[in-house]
Amino acid sequence: MKGFLFVVYAGVTIIILSTIYSFYALCFPFKYELFVNACADKYYLESALIFSIIKAESGFNERAVSSVGAKGLMQVMEKTAEYIASIYGISINETDYLFNAETNIELGCAYLNYLFKKFNNLGVVICAYNAGEGRVSEWLKTGILSNSNFSQIPYKETKDYYYKVLFNYNNYINRLKIRK
């Protein structure tokens, strides 16, 4: 009888764990993984961060458009895209280039690289990706924001975004550890 109960317990445990893993995989997918990994290598970023931002920005919807006009997976603004493309030599010849997953991810990653070069702090980069580098530079200059204290982020949207990206980031780091 003990052997039977052990088998039942083990079977139920396996089913529960596989269900949890499947749910986790559904909530934190690795869509566009090959291109995300290529851009992570090219722009010295962590794949987990890129996935986290894509999830927070568009929920992996290539056709997403924000209320302010940011487009695509990483919600890149056209002016930002043009500026970053000129700095990094990225070709943006097609008409709806921000809706092209590969182009959008590359532009978003190049922009993250640019922000890391400017701010050299994950939390500050996350805030700048959402609120803009000019606002974040001003917050740092006036002391509203520091490299170690993010509790005073003045925009609710940016504060919520910061915590959402960090939540996603920690989950993607864990998912990547499980896969190895």
Catalytic residues: 57
Q: What angle do CA 87, 32, 17 make, to 5 degrees?
A: 135
What is d(CA 163, CA 9) in angstroms, rounded to the nearest whole number? 38
DSSP state letter for 44: T
Please state the φ and ψ torsions of residue 60, each to the nearest 5 degrees. 70, 25
3-state secondary structure of 71: strand
The residues with which 65 forms a beta bridge, in sequence order, are 71
What is d(CA 72, CA 95) in angstroms, rounded to the nearest whole number? 13
Q: Using CB atoms within 10 A of its CB, is residue 161 exposed (0-12), middle (13-18) or buried (19+)?
A: buried
